[in-house]
Structure 1
Amino acid sequence: MNQSESKEDLPLAEDQQPVEVGGREIESGDVDSHNKTLKQSSEERSHAANLSKDGRSLPAKIPGYIIIRSLGEGSYGSVWLAQEENTGKYVAIKFYTYRRGLDWSLLNREVEKLAELYTSRHIISLQGVGWNSDPPYYMMEYLENGSLLSFLDSGPLPVSEAVRIAKTVLLALVHAHGRGILHCDLKPANVLLDANFEPRLCDFGQSRLSDEQSPSLGTLFYMAPEQADLEAIPDSRWDVYALGALLYQMLCGKAPYRTPENELSIRKLDSLEAKLEAYRDLIRSSPRPAEHRKVSGVDRRLVEIVDRCLETDPKKRFPNAQAVLTNLLQREQHRARRPLIALGVIGPLLLILGLIPVAGAAVSQMENRFRENLTERALRSDSITANLLAQNVARDLQDRQDQLVDLSKRTLLRSLLEDKETPEEKQSYAKLIDYLEQEKALVDEKRSALNREKDTSWFITNDKGKQIWRNPVGPTIGQNFSYRDYFHGHGKEYEKGNAPKSIKPITEPYICQVFKSEATNQWMVAIAVPIWNLQNDKVLGVLARTTHLDQLLSSYDESIRGDSENSGDRKIALIDNRDGKVLAHPRMTANNLRKMSRHQVDRLVLKENHFDQLQSFKLAQKKKQTDPLSAMISDYHDPVEAVLSIDDKDNVWLAAFSPIGMTGWTAVVQERRSMALRPVTEMRSWLIQYGLIVLATSCLLVFTVWYFVMRVLTERRAWDWARQQSEKRTDQGSTSSSSWPNQHRE
């Protein structure tokens, strides 16, 4: 019984108190010979009833003390709060009022143990004893905050508080075990709290000396399973189990294995031995308590300490209270080092991690700047190439036109066409054919020498548009082509057979609007010049030469691609300025276009935003507001690649545009952006790789440094402990060489 009376603990016998066997003399009438259950006499039962009716009846007066109030009632007596008259000091007085059937060894044992342990500030201190008083009593210090049990009634404690109380209780147990005293009944009701909520261990009524052989029964659900035996020999591991149960209850709010069902199953049994056996079977057959693992703030080390304290096999349990205390202190040291580790390890790592965004931003800025510079340089190069291409195409067209103009002014050609009659009927027609064939052969020979493509065809129409000659010869001779733009120069084509009757042939050299080949769907262009009569007052006919636009570019394609790794990474093309149609492109071959309808070919046009950019550039160029090399697009989407390529994921190009003279066309030089910016990707990959190497090296360096620092600190602590032990032994040896061995053993 304590200053705060326990109503929680499940009794083992009818007296509602832990049963003690072997520590008192039991008369033959006190114990049933069959079940060894303690029995009350009729007088004892009557006295207990009177105590229940009058819980505040003062057992006795003690000189020098004022009895204030009752603190609690129990089967062996009551505890009262008293005040010393001279000093005003409060004490708790435990009266053994139940004298009949009282085992006087209980009082004697508890007083002796408290007197032996008075030097520990973690154990309730003895203030005085009244052996000859009626009833006898002993005085102990009064702790105003009562027992730990009253605080646990409202729920579990914070983890830090639970560990603090457990550590203090362990200090008390270590002190008691060092004096050869085992408590044997550790529970929340036997832990009192002073004004500062510091715990004190009390109630040594069930305690045993470490060399005693008599058993001692504790309280259910705090008692080790091997302790619940009337033949058990006291063991320090009993207190270890009880400490584990106490710590478990402080963390979880209830003792391990304690449930209403388990309590009822034990309470309904009649004999003490049956209750003890049921308790042992319950502890050993039930799953290991695990609720403490779910408590927030309970770390792995604390879980292991609780689990080892509650081991049902005493061999697996901590051997004594000192071992438990050592493990708790090591846990605290480990937790205390965590801020240092966090500062020394996590701190540098956080610094490194904090530098990652800065480094990432710097790399990103560097990458963007490099990409911009590389893009600008590539576009600048493409723009220069596009201008050169446009100039060369314009010069080539001009050369072709000049050749036709020179030929059309020759007198022989004009005289052969002078007669208004049909040339086929004239002998001069054969001469005309021979003359034109010779001239074309000379032109083809010159172009071959210059590695330039030959014309697709040469032909002449009369002043009505009827074709009278063609090389190579074809079915078109004799057909009327007055609807073609190269004949009338109106900038458009009329519907075949529906040209205006007033249509007239061109009067100036003319490069016509492009038209589609009926055979291949490819875009073609005709360069036409008028043939005047000798008097220069009438146009006799039109001399023209045609070429496919892809052939017009073919002689420049290889030279512009240069040493590109992939022929698809750099291309040239022609765009119609009027509507953005693609006129020539490396993918617009005869084979590809034959598979497409005219409508599909007409859909090969620039995206609207690219066409608007091109028109804006042309307008600014006319107003001389822009650099002639500034028609550049960094995200050009090739319309031909979009239609004809299977994979359109990489259809983003750097493109430069340049108008081709007065043709109404624009030359395009484009290169795949991913290939042009490959150095950026390679640089980024290189920076990331080296950044990861630097990061890994830094982390390894931090961990290596701290490994050696922690190793040095550990060795330092071991050396300091060894030095302290050595100094302690030296001091003890100098004071009393004869007493040192006994002190060491104690």
Structure 2
Amino acid sequence: MNEPESQDQADCSRDPAAEGQNEQAPAEDQGGSQGKTLRQSPEERERAAHLSKDRFSLPAKVPGYVMVRSLGEGSYGSVWLAQEDNTGKYVAIKFYTYRRGLDWSLLNREVEKLAELYTSRNIISLQGVGWNSDPPYYMMEYLENGSLASFLDAGPLPVPEAVRIAKTVLQALVHAHGRGILHCDLKPANILLDDNYEPRICDFGQSRLSNEQSPSLGTLYYMAPEQSDLQAVPDARWDVYALGALLYHMLSGKAPYRTAGNEQSIREKDTLEEKLQTYRELIQKSPRPAEHRKVKGIDRRLVDIVDRCLETDPRKRFPNAQAVLSSLIQRDQYRARRPLIALGIIAPLLLVLGLIPVAGAAVNQMVSQFRENLTARALKSDLISANLLSQNVEHDLQDRQVQLVELSQRTLLRDMMEKVQNDGSESLESYGEIAAYLQQEKDLVDEKRDSLGREKDTSWFLTNANGIQVWRDPPRPTIGQDFSYRDYFHGQGTEYEKGKAPASVKPITHPYICQAFKSDATNQWMVAVAVPIWDLKHDRVLGILARTTHLDQLLTGYDESIRGDSEKIGDRKIALIDNRDGKVLAHPRMTAENLRSLSREEVDQLVLKDNHFDQLKLFRLTEKKGQRGPIPAVISDYHDPVEAVFSEDIEDNIWLAAFAPVGNTGWTAVVQERRGLALRPVVEMKNWLIEYGLIVLVTSCLLIFTVWYFVMRVLTERRGWDWSRHQQEKKSDSVTPVAN
């Protein structure tokens, strides 16, 4: 066995009471870390000189043992390392070389307590006593790892190690308190470490029986404030405070309240009573120690245990060592259960969180399916409306055409036209009788349409076989002008520039609905229904009779009936599209007032987007082939070019649109409704599902936390109230405390 080079075994046997009575109590366990020397009285200097004499002289021989070396000296005498002859086992022998009454009482007390506590493996064991030796001695086991104080000189211990040592020390205190013995001087120097670094309590020189009334001074900064009173009665809570100070030291690296200022304040006092009084006042007035709270890895429960051990009011302190040990065990149990508790909370939460994507996917699928169904239903409804609109527009134009055909075939009109041309004088005045006749017929038609609530024609007019306008109602300065360049005159499907019609153009020979053209006055698109007037022999065309209307007037009668209640079925609109180039011909926003603000070129730019126009051409191609195949007659993301110009809310310009051809006019009727409004039920349903899902999620989380709250209340200690503290406070309230 290697021989240690330490006097920690001796340090554990110093006599704090004697040091206190020799005014050494404030200097106890000062250590080299402070770097200061206390001012000594003459008596102290004399005592120090005595102790330094003949340090290595052997006090006495012990039969059966070989003295190896001195481990140190104190006010009681010296401690030597010895080896048993027979077994080679090392022991520490404590000689009481200064034979005074106090020394005998210390020897008797320490031997008595060690003998009583020999069954505890956490208390230094007594090996033998030499009462009759000169000087007397007792032997104790030798622990080569020395005292805890030597380890703390290097700095604080890790939290788990500090708690382990504290629990073992508490077990020793519980054993001692159970035998009615209070240590009264617990500190790092009185904790020895065996080969496995298990702590053992030593130095019971200041210990008291629980029923004793004599005071016992401990070591400054480990001694409870009420213990520093020379009239104090021993109390188990003194050891509780010392244990808290020991645990605080192990965690933070220094004893609580130990500062240079406090050291100086105590050192300046002359008498023991003054020093002790100053110590009490410093602890009572100083802020609660908080260095342990800054230790990395410390938990709130351990902080609370240390704080309660260091309560300056003994009534608020743990009542005994068993209560502290129970709290540490409960802390360990709680920490051991934390993974299970965390798993019990996290697992349901992970399950809930794992269900969120599944629920989200289900909601999205449900919403997507609902959107598709609602879109299909809305487009189907729009397609029905578009077909109805196209049929109505076609029938309206046909009615107008039929009326003109019937009028143009009347013998009276043809006869009057033939007479004018046969006379060779085609002045405007020569058409006066014809104009009166046509005016009469127009008035009858207008009256009939008015009675039916239908829009009147914009104008009626008559041109001769050369395209010269000879009559118009309402009258305009256009009478007498050449309109042979107009499509309604020659029926070639195009508009020539004014005055630049080819000489080869001839008047139409069959009833004709011309291509749309822009009004010179309003920039609105118009259409003319024209019929030829033949001579009586049906050999030549005598003139062209036509009636015009603005295209938006064709939609007026159907706009409100198709739009219906826009607040319920969406903001619906109807329009007409030119199949040739995708130009918008009629639209609710294409009023005369709006179009006057645009140039003719800007009006021509109100056309469908390329992708929509391509879809429209494919649809028209399919219609011509008579096939209802994969090309739909609907668009679910239609961008209205007119709304893009005249609407303030450009971002809301996405529509559901259905298309239907208008007979042989070359137009397509459009019924459109704002997609956002049409699909509002989808948004409302999605919001409802999300809201309902959040309610379920929050409810589930609250349920989980509620269940675990009560589970933890059962599994863990109730921190706001515990039985030991309640019983102690109840007992303290019934007994008037002794004033310090």
TM-score interval, smaller chain: 0.7 to 0.9
- More off after superposition, 373-382 vs 687-696: 687-696
- Among 1, 9, 14, the alignment partner of 1:3 is 9
Which residue number corresponds to residue 489 of structure 2? 487
Counterpart AA for 2:108: N
Aligned length: 698
Measure how far apart 1:45 and its partner are.
0.7
Measure how far apart 1:630 and its partner are.
0.5
- Work out whether residues 460 and 547 of structure 2, in 8 Å CA contact, stay in contact via their aligned partners in 1: yes
Distance 2:72 2:437 in 1: 142
Structure 2 residue 52 is the aligned partner of structure 1 residue 48: yes
Which residue number corresponds to residue 382 of structure 2? 382
Which residue number corresponds to residue 729 of structure 2? none
Specify the SS of the correspondent of 2:52.
helix
Which residue number corresponds to residue 654 of structure 1? 656
Distance 2:110 2:437 in 1: 145
Which residue number corresponds to residue 630 of structure 1? 632
- Work out whether residues 638 and 655 of structure 2, in 8 Å CA contact, stay in contact via their aligned partners in 1: yes
Structure 2 residue 321 is the aligned partner of structure 1 residue 317: no
Counterpart AA for 1:40: E
Distance 2:220 2:372 in 1: 81
Q: How does 1:54-65 map to 2 (within 5 A)?
A: 61-65=61-65
Which residue number corresponds to residue 516 of structure 2? 514
Which residue number corresponds to residue 586 of structure 1? 588
Specify the SS of the correspondent of 2:546.
strand
Measure how far apart 1:170 and its partner are.
2.2
Measure how far apart 1:655 and its partner are.
1.6
Structure 2 residue 257 is the aligned partner of structure 1 residue 257: yes
Distance 1:271 1:50 in 2: 30
Distance 2:156 2:711 in 1: 39
In structure 2, the CA distance between the partners of 1:287 and 1:579, relative to structure 1 (3 Å rule), is farther
Superposed CA deviations along residues 214-240 of structure 1, whole A, max 9, x for unmatched, are 433322322223333444443332222
In structure 1, stretches of 5+ residues that fail to align are: 22-34, 716-720, 722-746
Distance 2:396 2:609 in 1: 29
Superposed CA deviations along residues 104-130 of structure 1, whole A, max 9, x for unmatched, are 433332222222222333322222223
Which residue number corresponds to residue 43 of structure 2? 39
Measure how far apart 1:712 and its partner are.
8.1
Which residue number corresponds to residue 245 of structure 1? 245
In structure 2, the CA distance between the partners of 1:173 and 1:442, relative to structure 1 (3 Å rule), is same
Counterpart AA for 1:658: A
Structure 2 residue 307 is the aligned partner of structure 1 residue 307: yes
Distance 2:589 2:127 in 1: 110
Superposed CA deviations along residues 444-501 of structure 1, whole A, max 9, x for unmatched, are 4554566543322211223443322222333433334344443344544455455566
Please tell me the root mean square deviation across aligned C-alpha atoms, in Å.
Answer: 4.2
Q: How does 1:449-488 map to 2 (within 5 A)?
A: 451-488=453-490
- Among 562, 586, 599, the alignment partner of 1:560 is 562
Measure how far apart 1:378 and its partner are.
2.2
Distance 1:225 1:672 in 2: 84
Which residue number corresponds to residue 33 of structure 2? none
Distance 1:381 1:88 in 2: 109
Measure how far apart 1:16 and its partner are.
10
In structure 2, the CA distance between the partners of 1:188 and 1:713, relative to structure 1 (3 Å rule), is closer
Specify the SS of the correspondent of 1:486.
helix
In structure 2, the CA distance between the partners of 1:573 and 1:155, relative to structure 1 (3 Å rule), is farther
Which residue number corresponds to residue 737 of structure 2? none
Which residue number corresponds to residue 188 of structure 1? 188
- Work out whether residues 4 and 189 of structure 1, in 8 Å CA contact, stay in contact via their aligned partners in 2: no
Percent of aligned pairs with the same amino acid = 74
- TM-score, structure 1 length as denominator? 0.80
- Work out whether residues 12 and 202 of structure 2, in 8 Å CA contact, stay in contact via their aligned partners in 1: no
Distance 1:567 1:681 in 2: 15
- TM-score, structure 2 length as denominator? 0.81
In structure 2, the CA distance between the partners of 1:13 and 1:235, relative to structure 1 (3 Å rule), is closer
Distance 1:628 1:384 in 2: 18
In structure 2, the CA distance between the partners of 1:701 and 1:568, relative to structure 1 (3 Å rule), is closer
Which residue number corresponds to residue 123 of structure 1? 123
Which residue number corresponds to residue 675 of structure 1? 677
Q: How does 1:399-548 map to 2 (within 5 A)?
A: 399-418=399-418, 419-420=420-421, 421=424, 423-424=426-427, 429-444=431-446, 447=449, 451-489=453-491, 491-496=493-498, 504-534=506-536, 538-548=540-550
Distance 2:22 2:527 in 1: 122
In structure 2, the CA distance between the partners of 1:70 and 1:603, relative to structure 1 (3 Å rule), is farther
- Work out whether residues 20 and 26 of structure 2, in 8 Å CA contact, stay in contact via their aligned partners in 1: yes
In structure 2, the CA distance between the partners of 1:193 and 1:606, relative to structure 1 (3 Å rule), is farther
Which residue number corresponds to residue 30 of structure 1? none
Superposed CA deviations along residues 623-668 of structure 1, whole A, max 9, x for unmatched, are 7786387132222233333443344454332222233344333222
Measure how far apart 1:339 and its partner are.
4.7
- Work out whether residues 345 and 702 of structure 1, in 8 Å CA contact, stay in contact via their aligned partners in 2: yes
- Work out whether residues 2 and 202 of structure 1, in 8 Å CA contact, stay in contact via their aligned partners in 2: no
- Work out whether residues 334 and 716 of structure 2, in 8 Å CA contact, stay in contact via their aligned partners in 1: no
In structure 2, stretches of 5+ residues that fail to align are: 1-6, 29-38, 718-722, 724-740
- Work out whether residues 12 and 191 of structure 2, in 8 Å CA contact, stay in contact via their aligned partners in 1: no
Structure 2 residue 284 is the aligned partner of structure 1 residue 280: no
Which residue number corresponds to residue 175 of structure 1? 175
In structure 2, the CA distance between the partners of 1:308 and 1:701, relative to structure 1 (3 Å rule), is closer
Counterpart AA for 1:110: E
Which residue number corresponds to residue 742 of structure 1? none
- More off after superposition, 589-598 vs 240-249: 589-598
Distance 2:81 2:217 in 1: 29
Which residue number corresponds to residue 639 of structure 1? 641
Which residue number corresponds to residue 198 of structure 1? 198
Specify the SS of the correspondent of 2:400.
helix
Structure 2 residue 577 is the aligned partner of structure 1 residue 571: no
Counterpart AA for 1:321: A
Measure how far apart 1:80 and its partner are.
4.7
Which residue number corresponds to residue 550 of structure 1? 552
Superposed CA deviations along residues 523-549 of structure 1, whole A, max 9, x for unmatched, are 222233344445656544332221122
Distance 1:609 1:99 in 2: 117
Superposed CA deviations along residues 29-81 of structure 1, whole A, max 9, x for unmatched, are xxxxxx99682364751542654xx6xx7665533345556656656555455
Distance 1:437 1:207 in 2: 136
